[in-house]
Structure 1
Amino acid sequence: MAVVDYYQTSGAGVVSVAAHFGISSSQVVAWVKIFRTEGVAGLRPKPRGRRSTVKHKKTKQVKKLELSEKEAYQQEILKLRGELYHTRMERDFLKKLGAVSKNNLPPKKRQ
């Protein structure tokens, strides 16, 4: 970046800038060309080599339930099982009540 700045501000030629910094004139020309087309980002170093094809696995963090949370879930399961038992008993009772009441009705007369 210093070479390009010096080239633009001093008004000196490519050869004199190259001699001042001790580099080749073709390198000065290349850097100035990159700066004009891509800006400062073009002069920043880029990663070299081939990208890795191995994907790193992210470790999943397992959330462990606290003891109080675990107990709360167990209590809720017991409560829901109790409700399910009572609901099934009620359903069975209503089924039997419906069957008994059907049998007690007098048969319909046919005409």
Structure 2
Amino acid sequence: LAEVGAKFDLLPTQVSYWVNIFQRDGIEALKPHQKGRRPKVNKKHNPKHIRHLAERNELDRLKEELAKKNQELHEAKLELEITKKSLALFGPSKHAPKHK
């Protein structure tokens, strides 16, 4: 153990600990695992988390709707500009009703 520890710059007690864990529990015990306490509430089922996701989805939906309305407004403004310019260039049509 001392020789292996010296070769890999480890304490012999650490090597001894790993050997004991391997002999007791096998290779799975030496693989990395999550540390710390498990969460009490699963985040997927947490009401706060669900509400947050719903609000975020609603916000995304509203952003998409706003972008669509802005695009429609832009197109309407362009159409109005084209109509104004065509009236300025060609004048009102002969078949258009006259305003009194």
Q: TM-score, normalised by structure 1?
A: 0.42
Question: Rg: which structure is higher?
Answer: 1
Q: TM-score, normalised by structure 2?
A: 0.46
Q: Which has the higher helix share?
A: 2
- Structure scoring higher RCO (CA < 8 A, sep ≥ 6) equals 1
